Chain A
Amino acid sequence: MDLLEYQGKELFRGHGVPVPDGRPATTVAEAVEAAEALGYPVVVKAQVLIGGRGKAGGIKLAKTREEIEEHAGAILGMDIRGFTVHELYVERASDIAEEYYAAILLDRTAKRPMAMLSRMGGMDVEEIAANDPNAIVRVYVDPLLGFQDFQARRLAFDAGIAADVIRPAGAVLAKLYETFVKEDALLVEVNPLLVTTDREVVALDAKVTIDGNSLFRHPDTAAFRDVGSEDPQERMAKERGLTFVKLEGDIGILGNGAGLVMSTLDVVAQAGGRPANFLDAGGGSKAEAIVDAVEVILSNPNVRAVLFNIFGGITRCDEVARGLVTAFGQLEVNVPFVVRLEGTNDEEGRRILAEAELPNVHVEKTMDGAAERVVELAKAGAAVS
């Protein structure tokens, strides 16, 4: 779960990471109110989950009431690389002396947290790495010992940051690590980590990703979830407990188990088709879950054919077949279905489907055969319309 800048900074404040004063706003009036309370000059920042906001015109300095009105009005509703701006963050402007880069992240390969520091902040981290691979210094952190002072010193000296801020920068790194652990983050990135003209070290940006599995112990963070910006179909699936990712194509896909669904998408693509979604109905899918899944898949108007690929382990094929029959009874289905049932109770499942005589439902024995069939049917559907 990715957080917006102002949400990340709220977590930072809770752990003593210095950030400039600021307030979120969703209207021009709120932005003006925030600016007047903070005192000019302020910076107005678009709150979207994508980088490159500054270049896209989503970050502006305002020295007067007229300027904040103008900039807030221009940025609200702006499209930044496909993301519409619904929220702003108004922040007191900082006097910049130096811009560094700091991050704590989970290194999956080493299976350890990693702390990073660079004195070349303000640009993309990939850009820093491309310019000078030695400009980013890294240390691994033992999760049982935590981030040690010597590691902070080593990062600071090796990164070559200004001598007078080595101690305060180290302290900020330690607090960022505390944020990373206490908030169950997968990533905490600060770019730029600022040194002001008063020689204070301040987090000017915040990019924080929280582990979705940990939200049960972070109710405040869970409330940050911005349902308004989620795809409505993905939201519908989430509410029904289905794992769903929307894709660009016209073949609806349902399977049980993440790996098998990924494999199904690949086999359909190899057969010349374009999947419309990833949908994992989960292990032990009951009839009810199947009805929900069919409804979610068919809510995408691009879908011209649907493939059910079930390999029953815990999932019982007869349950899936019953769910499909119920779905056809409850929903208006205008596209062909190809169903492949194999594994636990597969014969019973196929018998249920045969007896129900559902219109335009095609049963296939193998995964490859089912993929070829659904691609044919989708193409025929495209030719008709």
Chain B
Amino acid sequence: MSILVGTETKLVVSGLTGREGSFHGMNNRRYGTDLVAGVTPGKGGQDVEGVPIFDTVHDAVAETGANTSMIFVPPRFAADAILEAADAGVELVVCITEGIPVHDMLRVYTHLRRGTTRLIGPNCPGVLSPGKSNVGIIPAHFFSEGNVGLVSRSGTLTYQIGNTLAQRGFGNSSIVGIGGDPIAGSSFIEIVDLFERDPETELIVMCGEIGGEEEERTAEYIEANVEKPVVGYIAGFTAPPGKTMGHAGAIISGSKGTAQAKAEALEAKGVRVGRTPTQVADIAAEIVGAKV
């Protein structure tokens, strides 16, 4: 097992005819992802390396049975593309696009919460279930199948931590990047909950960063609901208040959202927090080692 994407995934990519969309879409296909369709309005009937292009997501779903959508369109069109995928009945939308206006995402988020479509992202690296399916831009060759579920707000930091874990012999059930924007489609709590219920996952690693209160709320949730061991990491101990550190969501306002506060909140609820990626791997090895 794995979460969110796997052997059942049938992928439609909005923006497959674009430079980035085709590069990563085809990369996903080479990995083994069942890429069934692309959508570009006005280009219906064409194909990209044999993958059929449709004018609408509705057509793509009707023709191919796509159940997962990846969004690779520019920020000003991305909210519309997410809504289109949801309206066409896709179960999971993974939005890679960075720079979507917050008010667009507020409306999209509120609407999706009233239906059944799950959104990952935006501004995220996607979801990888090693050996099964890759939807997004995560460089899959660093990761192998295993029992660590990894969830993160950041892309390259995920690769760094995943790689540090891999060097200790850990593989992954799934790797989920929820994105660095203030309004993310899925929260840490929801992904941690999926890992808790996934039989393949034995250990959960959660990489947060400064800004917001997600990590604090997740700490409460873990204490009350999660049996599996969770190891935490928080980036941004040295970040000054009032400055956005690259991600739109990564900003300390007043005394809220600091890395110190987040690490303490997690530790207070029994989640051990590594201060560096190396320490995260050390703790993971200790926990899993102790179980054996």
Apart from A106-B182, A280-B246, A311-B156: 7 A-B pairs, beta carbons within 8 A? A106-B102, A109-B212, A109-B214, A260-B235, A266-B236, A278-B243, A313-B138
Complex CA distance for A344 and B27, rounded to whole angstroms: 14
Distance between B82 CB and nearest chain A CB, rounded to angstroms = 15
- Interface extent on A, as a size class? 35 or more
B102 engages A184 (CB within 8 Å): yes
B38 at the interface (CB under 8 A from A): no
CA distance A245 to B247 in the complex (A): 12
Task: Name the residue among A184, A247, A263, A367 with the largest chain B CB count within 10 angstroms.
Answer: A263
Q: Are B137 and A314 in contact (CB under 8 A)?
A: yes
25 A/B residue pairs, CB under 8 Å, sorted by A: A108-B182, A108-B213, A111-B106, A111-B183, A126-B254, A184-B103, A212-B248, A214-B101, A214-B103, A256-B156, A259-B209, A259-B235, A260-B154, A260-B159, A261-B246, A262-B245, A263-B276, A267-B276, A268-B238, A270-B276, A278-B239, A311-B156, A313-B125, A343-B142, A344-B139
Q: Is the interface of B mostly helix, strand, loop or mixed?
A: loop
B247-275 at interface with A (beta carbon < 8 Å):
247-250, 254, 259, 275
Does B278 lie at the interface of the complex (its beta carbon under 8 Å from any beta carbon of A)? yes
Question: Which of chain A's residues have a CB closer than 8 A to the CB of B237?
Answer: 265-266, 269
A interface, CB within 8 angstroms of B: 106, 108-109, 111-113, 126, 142-144, 181, 184, 186, 211-214, 216-217, 243, 245, 247, 255-263, 265-270, 275, 278, 280, 283, 311-315, 342-344, 366-368
* A275/B102 in contact, CB under 8 A: no
Write the chain A residue with the least CB distance to B167: A366
Q: Enumerate chain B residues within 8 angstroms of A258, measured Cβ to Cβ.
A: 154, 180, 209, 245-247, 250
How many Å from the CB of A60 to the closest CB on chain B? 27
A residues in contact with B137, CB < 8 Å: 283, 313-314
**Total residue contacts A-B, CB cutoff 8 A:** 165
B76 contacts which of A111, A217, A245 (Cβ < 8 Å)? A217
Contact present for A259 and B207 (CB under 8 Å): yes
Q: Is the CB of A211 within 8 A of B102?
A: yes
Confirm or deny: B89 has a beta carbon within 8 angstroms of a beta carbon on chain A: no
Q: How many residues of B contact A (CB 8 A)?
A: 58
| Chain A residues closer than 8 Å to B226, beta-carbon distance | none
B240 is an interface residue with CB less than 8 A from chain A: yes
Task: List, in ascending order, chain B residues with CB within 8 A of A368's CB.
Answer: 276, 278
Stretch at the interface among B4-12, B40-48, B52-60, B107-115: B107-115
Given A144-B111, A258-B247, A313-B155, A263:B235 Cβ within 8 A:
yes
Interface residues of B in 143-183 (CB under 8 A from A): 152-160, 163, 180, 182-183
Give complex CA distance A283, B243 in Å: 21
Residues from chain B with Cβ under 8 Å of A108 in the complex: 182-183, 211-213, 249
Closest to B240 in A: A247
Question: How many Å from the CB of B178 to the closest CB on chain A?
Answer: 12
Contact residues in B for A247 (Cβ distance below 8 Å): 238, 240
A213 engages B138 (CB within 8 Å): no
List residues of chain A with CB within 8 A of the CB of B102: 106, 184, 186, 211, 213-214
Contact B106 A113 (CB under 8 A): yes
Q: How far in angstroms is the closest Cβ of chain B from A49? A: 10
B residues 192-221 touching A (CB-CB < 8 Å): 207, 209-214, 217
CB of A293 to closest CB in B, whole Å:
13
- Measured in the bound complex, the distance between the Cα atoms of B237 and A260 in whole Å is 12
B99 close to A (CB within 8 Å): yes
Complex Cα spacing A245 to B245, Å = 7
Whether A313 lies near B212 (C-beta < 8 A) is no
- In angstroms, Cα B250 to Cα A273, docked, is 22
Q: Which chain B residues lie closer than 8 Å to A265 at the CB level?
A: 236-239
A248 to chain B, nearest CB (A): 8
Instruction: State the Cβ distance, B208 to closest chain A Cβ, in Å.
Output: 9
Among B111, B163, B236, B238, the one with the most A-chain Cβ atoms within 10 Å of its Cβ is B238
Instruction: Name the one of A211, A259, A263, A268 contacting B103, with C-beta atoms under 8 angstroms.
Output: A211
Which of chain B's residues have a CB closer than 8 A to the CB of A259?
152-158, 180, 207, 209, 235, 246-247
